[in-house]
Structure formats: C-alpha cells, structure tokens
Structure 1
Amino acid sequence: MLRFDLPPVLANAARADGLLTFLIAALALLNVVWLVPLLIVQGFVRGFIGHQRCPSHRLFALLLQKAGFAGKKENAGAKMFASKLLFIASSMASVLYFAGSGMWVVPVSVLLVFSFLEWAFSFCVACWARTAWYRLRSQG
C-alpha cells in the first residue's frame, strides 16, 4: 500500500541510512554493542513518525541534495515498514544483550546483511517483502 500522506524519501538518503545501520551493526559485532540502542531510536522515529523527522536522515538528505546526489524519490510507506522492522530487531538485540544472552548476535547479523544490501545495491529486503505481501493479498 502506497503512502501518499507522507513526503517521499530520497533514495540515496535511504542508502546512507542503510550505511549507518550497517556500520553500527558491524561495530556491535565487534563488541561495541552499546550503539545498538541508537538503532532503536532511529527505527522508531523513521518507522512510526516518519523519515522527515529523523535527524540523521534529514542530515543525509540535506548533504546529498547540496552535493547533487540525492537520487530519485521513493514512496515512504515501504521504507517506514523497513524502519519498523529495524526497531523490532534492534530492540530484540538490546533486550537479549542486556539479559546476558549471546543470541543478540542473530538480529544484529540480520541487520548487518539487510542493511548491506540496502547500502550497496539499493535493495531493501523489507520493502520487497512488503510489496510481495500486498500483491499476494490482492490476488486472494
């Protein structure tokens, strides 16, 4: 379902968000786990409030527009869904870590792989899954 009530997201700013998520996930796997709660905040703001309210996304969009590398505009609905999944996965990782479980590595690893795909190839796994879900629902 497309979201026309929100401003579109710049593709390269979303890729920069993916790079930031990738870097934080990589650092977490190198035992800098205290950065993972930043992903909770980013996922919450971008997923439930909107990308236009996220400070890092706004900074990336501004810098990329000034440099002339903003890219095309994409619908915010799928990106918001991806950010909600970021919120859930990073929350799970933080709870598991602070509970003393070694399983926190699993959601962080998933975030590492998915954010790499977004950053390097502009392939949003969550966006693809959301689109496939809506296509399957409309056929039934």
Structure 2
Amino acid sequence: MLRFDVPPVNANVIRLEAFVTFMVCSVALLGFPYLLPVLALMGLVRGFLGHYKCPSHRGFAKLLESINRAGAKENAGAKMFANKILFIAATVASVLYFMGNSFWVVPTIALVIFSTLEWAFSFCAACWVYGFWYKLFPPKMTG
C-alpha cells in the first residue's frame, strides 16, 4: 500500500542509511554490540514517526542534496515498513546481548545481509515483502 500521507524519500539517502546500518552491524559483530540500540532508535523514529523526524535522515538528505546526489523520490510506505523491521531486529539483538545471550549475532547478521542488498544492489527485501503482502491482502475500501 503506497503511503501518500508522508513525504517521499530520496533513493540514495535510503541507500546511505542502509550503508550506515551495515557498518554499525559490522562493527557490532567485531566486538562493539553496545552500538545496536542506536539502530533500534533510528528504526523506531523512521519506521513509526517518519523519515523526516529522524535527525540522521535529515542530515543525510541535506548532504546528498547539496552535491546533487539525493536520487529519485520513492514512496516512503515500504521504507517505513523496512525501518520497523530494523527496529525489531536491532531491539531483539540488543536485548539478547545485554542479557548475555550469544544469539544476538543472528539478527545482527540478518541486518548485515539485508542492508548490504539495499545499499549495494538497491534491493529492499522488506519492501518486496511489503508489496507482496498488500497484493495478497489488499486493504478493504470503505465508502
């Protein structure tokens, strides 16, 4: 379902955010997992409040727009769904880590894989699932 109640987002800004997710998760796997709550916070803000409420998104957008590299506009609905998944995965990884459970690496590795697909190949797996879901279960029209 396309979202027209939130402004569209620039494609390359989204790719840069995915690269940041990839880097934070990679650094976490290298021994600094206490950084994962930062991703959970970013996913929370961008996924539930909107991209333009997130300071990092606004900063990345301003940076890329200043050098004419922001990219085409994309509907924000699927990207918000992807950020909700980021929030869930990063929160689960953070909770597991702080509980002393070594399984925190599983959602972190999943985030590395899926964020790499986004920043390197412009393939958003969560966006694909989002679109597939709404093809299977279209929203009921009232009126």
How far does residue 3 in structure 1 lie from its aligned partner after superposition? 0.5
Provide, for residues 46-91 of structure 1, a one-character-per-residue CA deviation record: whole Å limited to 9, x for no partner.
0000000111111111111110111100001000000000000000
How far does residue 136 in structure 1 lie from its aligned partner after superposition? 1.7
User: Which residue of the partner structure matches residue 97 of structure 2?
Assistant: 97
Q: Counterpart of 1:18 in structure 2: which amino acid?
A: A
CA–CA separation in structure 1 for the residues paired with 2:63 and 2:44: 23
How far does residue 35 in structure 1 lie from its aligned partner after superposition? 0.7
Q: Counterpart of 1:71 in structure 2: which amino acid?
A: G
User: Which residue of the partner structure matches residue 45 of structure 2?
Assistant: 45
How far does residue 133 in structure 1 lie from its aligned partner after superposition? 1.0
CA–CA separation in structure 2 for the residues paired with 1:3 and 1:17: 20
Where does structure 1 differ by over 4 angstroms across 4 or more consecutive aligned residues? none
Q: Counterpart of 1:28 in structure 2: which amino acid?
A: A
Work out the number of aligned pairs and report it.
138
CA–CA separation in structure 2 for the residues paired with 1:20 and 1:35: 12
How far does residue 102 in structure 1 lie from its aligned partner after superposition? 0.5
SS at match of 1:4: coil
User: Which residue of the partner structure matches residue 112 of structure 1?
Assistant: 112
Structure that is richer in helix per residue:
1
CA–CA separation in structure 2 for the residues paired with 1:34 and 1:100: 12
User: Which residue of the partner structure matches residue 54 of structure 1?
Assistant: 54
* Residue ranges of structure 2 left out of the alignment (5+ in a row): 139-143
Question: 1:71-86 alignment to 2 at 5 Å?
Answer: 71-86=71-86
Q: Counterpart of 2:126 in structure 1: which amino acid?
A: A
**TM-score when normalising by structure 2:** 0.95
CA–CA separation in structure 1 for the residues paired with 2:137 and 2:91: 29
Identity across the alignment (%): 58
Question: 1:111-130 alignment to 2 at 5 Å?
Answer: 111-130=111-130
How far does residue 99 in structure 1 lie from its aligned partner after superposition? 0.8
CA–CA separation in structure 1 for the residues paired with 2:70 and 2:94: 32
User: Which residue of the partner structure matches residue 20 of structure 2?
Assistant: 20
CA–CA separation in structure 2 for the residues paired with 1:116 and 1:98: 25
Q: Counterpart of 1:81 in structure 2: which amino acid?
A: F
**TM-score when normalising by structure 1:** 0.97
RMSD across aligned positions (CA): 0.6
